[in-house]
């Protein structure tokens, strides 16, 4: 039979083990916001080239500044109470509402000029998706460790971080609207402010690094230049569709004529 002392020691061991497991469980729950990825190694050596040292130094600054700006990464963050509002701003720059709104305006447009603008905006959004996907696949930079997966980000956000698709889309759409639709000073300020807030939301939510957003803004600004050079007019689209339809009708007629000739 076990003595009372050994029983007390075993009970203490069980209680301490339960406390340790609960503390570990709480620590794991809290780590969803602050960790989740291996920390990047920015150690440098004087024997390395000056370009490598400079690059590592800039990446270290980028990592430090991105962590300081991620104040809405989760509910426990310093500005965690503003997280729902920041996520709403983030969603306003998502490609899904932009595509839905553009296609709806294109189909329900009453003027040819308006339909032409919406058509090119839809093509610009598709071009943005393609270019961002290509660059992300080539760079393959992981998202910040502070990034917390939400329902929307789990199903509609890629795992790669560079460049920021929201930033490219915000810059391109802002320049598109300023050039084609907005003509008043107040609306121009509203559009520019929206683009800045969408880009800032990616940093506040710790979705991406500062360099991801900065490069995305520059990339989106340049994308509109491509859209402007490849602008598709309504007459050009009608001529293209007419040529395609005429070509298909000629092929069908030739096929029927050959079939009758064989019989």
Mean of the per-residue pLDDT values of the chain: 77
For tokens 């980028």, the residue is 62
Mean pLDDT computed over 34-45: 51
Q: Burial of 46 by CB count in 10 Å (0-12 exposed, 13-18 middle, 19+ buried)?
A: exposed
Would you tell me how many other CB atoms lie within 10 Å of the CB of residue 14?
Answer: 10
Mean pLDDT computed over 147-164: 67
Domain ranges of the chain: 54-232, 234-263
Residue 220 has pLDDT above 70, yes or no: yes
Q: Report the b/e string of 114-143 with b at 16+ CB within 10 A.
A: ebbbbbbbbebbebbeebbeebbeeeebeb
Lookup: tokens for 215: 């490069």
pLDDT of residue 257: 54
Per the DSSP assignment, residues forming a β-bridge with 160 are 142
Mean pLDDT computed over 181-199: 93
To 5 degrees, how large is the angle CA 200–CA 202–CA 203?
Answer: 70
């Amino acid at each position: 039979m076990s003595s009372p002392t050994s029983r007390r020691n075993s009970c203490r061991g069980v209680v301490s083990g339960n406390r340790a497991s609960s503390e570990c469980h709480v620590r794991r729950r809290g780590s969803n916001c602050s960790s989740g990825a291996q920390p990047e190694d920015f150690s440098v050596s004087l024997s390395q080239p000056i370009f490598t040292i400079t690059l590592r130094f800039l990446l270290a600054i980028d990592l430090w500044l991105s962590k300081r700006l991620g104040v809405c990464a989760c509910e426990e963050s310093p500005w965690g109470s503003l997280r729902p509002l920041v996520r709403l701003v983030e969603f306003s720059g998502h490609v899904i509402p932009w595509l839905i709104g553009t296609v709806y305006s294109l189909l329900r447009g009453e003027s040819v000029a308006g339909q032409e603008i919406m058509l090119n905006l839809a093509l610009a959004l598709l071009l943005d998706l393609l270019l961002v996907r290509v660059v992300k696949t080539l760079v393959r930079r992981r998202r910040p460790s502070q990034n917390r997966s939400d329902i929307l980000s789990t199903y509609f956000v890629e795992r790669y971080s560079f460049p920021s698709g929201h930033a490219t889309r915000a810059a391109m759409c802002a320049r598109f609207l300023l050039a084609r639709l907005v003509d008043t000073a107040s609306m121009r300020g509203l559009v520019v402010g929206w683009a800045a807030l969408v880009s800032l939301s990616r940093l506040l939510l710790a979705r991406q690094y500062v360099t991801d957003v900065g490069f995305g803004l520059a990339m989106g600004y340049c994308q509109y230049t491509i859209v402007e050079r490849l602008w598709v007019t309504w007459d050009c689209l009608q001529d293209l569709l007419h040529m395609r339809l005429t070509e298909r009708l000629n092929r069908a007629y030739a096929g029927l004529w050959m079939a009758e000739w064989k019989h």
